[in-house]
Amino acid sequence: MQSWRESPGVVVVLLAPAVLWLLLFFLIPLGFIWVISFGERAGPVAIDITWTLANYRDAIDPLYLGLFTRSLRIAAISTVIALVIAFPVAFAITFASPRLKPILLLLVILPFFTNMLIRTYAMIAVLRRNGYVNFSLEQLWEAGAFALQPFGLAGMLGERFVPLDLLYNNTAVVFGIVYVYLPFMVLPLYASLERLDRSLLEASLDLGASQFRTFFFVTVPLAVPGIVSGIMLVFIPAMGTFLISDLLGGPSSQLIGNVIERQFKAANNWPLGAAMSFLLLYLTFVLLVLRAWFEKRDRGRG
Amino acid sequence: MRPPIVSIDGVTKRFGETAAVDQVSIDIQANEFFALLGPSGCGKTTLLRMLAGFETPNEGRILIDGDDMTRVPPNRRPVNMVFQSYAVFPHMTVEANVAYGLKVEGIGGAELRRRVDEALAMVRLENFRARKPDQLSGGQRQRVALARALIKRPKVLLLDEPLSALDKKLREQMQLELVRLQHEVGITFVMVTHDQEEALSMANRIAVMDHGRVLQIADPRTLYEHPTHRFVAEFIGTVNSLDVEVRSVDGPHARIRHPLLGEITVERAAPDVERGVVVARPEKLRLDFSAPPVDGEILLDAVVEQIAYYGDLSFVFVRCPDGTALQISRYNVNRQDKGDPAAGSLCRVGIHPDDLLLVGTG
Ligand SMILES: Nc1ncnc2c1ncn2[C@@H]1O[C@H](COP(=O)(O)OP(=O)(O)OP(=O)(O)O)[C@@H](O)[C@H]1O
Ligand SMILES: [Mg+2]
């Protein structure tokens, strides 16, 4: 490693492909979008760059701000749920036997083997009125009604089974986001729990703390880097998602991502879409800066 | 005599097929500084972890102050541990680390503050209370671990190789410090170490372990001068071991034969030793060039092969005509000393039968 640092030529050669890739397919297109966000539509395809701020003004229209707040809320709720589900999972994997561990990790990564679109469609099959969840509930309902019949209580469960409307609402969107992004929460949590020195947990128990206290006063604080990374990795894409809300959400679950997508496609208002994208991007930057600041502070203190 | 504060009764711990701790029974008295000594992998840590409650024995019982603790979880045992890696909580200040165990008990306010101050003063860390562990040296971190455990006023303090991560000077300083602390707080210390000098200089009593078994439990002097096993003799200090033929045994003595020594009577380490080796400590042998033998001493001709000079003493390695190698230590008592013999020179080695001991090889 040391010698690499001393010969910059090697570093340049090694980094060149990645830098080139980022430049060509990320930074330059991003620059275009940034420039377009200061433009005006001059025809079906033509855009004049007039350095106007009108798009940004339009983007913070109360209508869009409402959508933005809803996106924020749904992303936040999804992130919290993902965290609550992922922590025990990551904890269990960390403490699983060495034989079981790779299998469990594989199970976490397995969903990545299928396309996100397909996975989201699969959720429709699970949640729709005649989907798997309702099917199971119906079976339970029938069993319950059958069991209650001899007591003349069959009516207690209603005349007939009414399937639940699980799809096309905000809950379904949250469900979809949690389902799709859960691995992004589990993996960083696992990484930071794996690094955790077990003797710290033993020391806590040894000092008389319960398992519960040990978890909240030792495990969780020391897993903060993983928690922060996991939150970032779930919250940021959740904030920008449009596929999940499109497929699983109802008319009132449109997210800011859907609006942006519509500006680029149906509404053909690239400048507004670009401005909205960049507002979202700035928010992401703020979050990343905050994280960097937290990390620096933590490293400075211990 | 009071009942032992710790009573380990026929404890076995197996990991898979192998027994890491094998049928161990030890009684530790209140206020003792007890050391578990043995080579790497002999099961010391495993035994200590069973006292702390992190491992459950497969067989046997562990009593602490008369109560059966065999299956009691670590957070309900009246013992505390200083971990080998110290395990100081990195996200808490020194003060928070030390206070942790009391807060868990629900102690707060003035009493918490008083006892934290007291504990920090005891380990001389008053001026470091607001620091985070990564701003401390290894020795300071260890003292945090000590204060954190001692503040709980445990019946027994368990220490797993507490000094192994420190450099030599600091280690010697901390050895004295630990002994002082133990006197001061009057708590039973059980310390794991693989360093025999550390065990000898610090502990009141030592259990020597090998392959999960306890070979001998004794005070340092007895261990050094009256080891019962060849392993103990060779593990503690250095020793010359001579294979001998035992002619007869009679009470505490044995009649042995050795080509160099002839047929002589030596002490037996234990009543069950009927075969074995004769051991002699290097400082018990006398390097002699001309002087006549001391009363009863056997003089052997030898050639000096090598010399290791340590400043305060030197080890002289010699070989007898029959090929037997011996090492002799000489103290360099005055500066005008003419020094060690040259390699290759002829010398005589004086051995007194009283300094020989027949030990078992089992
Ligand atoms: N959790 C475990 N699972 C399997 N084997 C173990 C476990 N803990 C210890 N052992 C084995 O038990 C034996 C004793 O280990 P122990 O840690 O008690 O040794 P030790 O005397 O403390 O050694 P050291 O001086 O190296 O720390 C070793 O052979 C070790 O490999
Ligand atoms: Mg050990």
User: By three-state DSSP, how is residue B213 classified?
Assistant: strand
Which residue's CA is the nearest one to ligand 1's atom 26?
A: B40
ipTM: 0.85
Angle at B176 between CA B197 and CA B8, to 5 degrees: 65
Q: Rounded mean pLDDT of A279-288?
A: 89
Global pTM reads: 0.83
Q: Ligand 1 centroid vs B47 CA: distance in angstroms?
A: 9
Contact residues on chain B for A221, CB-CB shorter than 8 A: 91
Is residue A132 scored above 90 in pLDDT?
A: no
Is any ligand 1 atom within 6 A of the Cβ of residue B42? yes
Q: Tell me which of A106-110, A220-224, A288-292, B294-298 is least confident.
A: B294-298
Please indicate, yes or no, whether residues B32 and B88 belong to a single structural domain of this protein. yes
Is residue A153 scored above 60 in pLDDT?
A: yes
User: By three-state DSSP, how is residue A242 classified?
Assistant: coil
* Confidence grade of residue A302 (pLDDT, cut at 50, 70, 90): very low
Contact residues on chain A for B190, CB-CB shorter than 8 A: none
pLDDT in tens, B21-40: 999 999 999 999 999 999 99
Q: Where are the domains of chain A?
A: 56-128+166-301
Distance from CA of B19 to the nearest CA of A (A): 20
Is residue A217 scored above 90 in pLDDT?
A: yes
Between chains, do B83 and A199 touch, taking CB under 8 Å as contact? Answer: yes
Per the structure, how many domains does chain B have? 3
Between chains, do B75 and A301 touch, taking CB under 8 Å as contact? Answer: no
Instruction: Tell me the residues of chain A between 215 and 234 that have a Cβ less than 8 Å away from chain B.
Output: 217-218, 221-222
User: By three-state DSSP, how is residue A100 classified?
Assistant: coil
CA-closest candidate to residue B27, choices B51, B8, B46, B11: B8
Q: How many CB atoms lie within 10 A of CB B190?
A: 27
B129-145: buried (b, 16+ CB within 10 Å) or exposed (e) per residue? bebbbeebeebbbbbbb
Is residue A198 scored above 80 in pLDDT?
A: yes
Please indicate, yes or no, whether residues B76 and B113 belong to a single structural domain of this protein. yes
Please indicate, yes or no, whether residues B261 and B307 belong to a single structural domain of this protein. no
Residue B218, in any domain of the structure: yes
* Confidence grade of residue A123 (pLDDT, cut at 50, 70, 90): confident
B226-261: buried (b, 16+ CB within 10 Å) or exposed (e) per residue? bbbbbbbbbbbbebbebebebeebeeeebebebebb
A204 contact B CB<8A: yes
CA atoms within 13 A on the CB side of A232: 20
Please indicate, yes or no, whether residues B342 and B259 belong to a single structural domain of this protein. no
Please indicate, yes or no, whether residues B302 and B168 belong to a single structural domain of this protein. no
Is residue A80 scored above 80 in pLDDT?
A: yes
User: Which of A97, A99, A201, A207 is the mutation pick for testing B, counting most B CBs within 10 A?
Assistant: A207
Mean pLDDT of chain A: 88
Residue B232, in any domain of the structure: no
Percentage of chain A lying above the pLDDT 70 cut: 96
Higher pLDDT, A165 or A234: A234
Q: Tell me which of A38-42, A150-154, B305-309, B352-356 is least confident.
A: A150-154
Residue ranges making up the domain that contains B271: 240-278
Q: Rounded distance, CA B199 to CA B162, Å?
A: 12
Give the Å distances, CA to CA, from A285 to A58, A65, A235, A236, A280. Answer: 21, 19, 13, 10, 9
Q: Rounded mean pLDDT of A112-127?
A: 87
Please indicate, yes or no, whether residues B38 and B96 belong to a single structural domain of this protein. yes
Please indicate, yes or no, whether residues B120 and B198 belong to a single structural domain of this protein. yes
Q: Rounded distance, CA B65 to CA B2, Å?
A: 10
Which residue's CA is the nearest one to ligand 1's atom 20?
A: B41
Please indicate, yes or no, whether residues B76 and B211 belong to a single structural domain of this protein. yes
**B91 closest CB neighbour out of A202, A207, A221:** A221
Q: Rounded mean pLDDT of A169-196?
A: 93
Query: What was the pLDDT predicted at B188?
Result: 95
Q: What is the CATH number of the domain that holds B125?
A: 3.40.50.300
A208 contact B CB<8A: yes
User: By three-state DSSP, how is residue B70 classified?
Assistant: coil
Q: Ligand 2 centroid vs B146 CA: distance in angstroms?
A: 18
Residue B233, in any domain of the structure: no
Query: What was the pLDDT predicted at A3?
Result: 63
Which residue's CA is the nearest one to ligand 1's atom 5?
A: B15
Please indicate, yes or no, whether residues B150 and B203 belong to a single structural domain of this protein. yes
Please indicate, yes or no, whether residues B297 and B182 belong to a single structural domain of this protein. no
Q: What is the CATH number of the domain that holds B301?
A: 2.40.50.140
Give the Å distances, CA to CA, from A76 to A119, A126, A178, B349. Answer: 22, 24, 11, 84
Query: What was the pLDDT predicted at A293?
Result: 87
Contact A166, A176 (CB under 8 A): no
Please indicate, yes or no, whether residues B138 and B187 belong to a single structural domain of this protein. yes
Please indicate, yes or no, whether residues B176 and B299 belong to a single structural domain of this protein. no
Domain A56-128+166-301 has CATH 3.20.20.190: no
Distance between first and last Cα of chain B: 32
Computed on alpha carbons and rounded to an integer, the radius of gyration of chain B in Å comes to 24
Contact residues on chain B for A218, CB-CB shorter than 8 A: 89
Residues of chain B with pLDDT under 70: 1, 289-291, 362
What's the 3-state SS for A111-169?
Answer: HHHCCHHHHHHHHHHHHCCCCHHHHHHHHHHHHHHHHHHHHCCHHHHCCCCCCCCCCCC
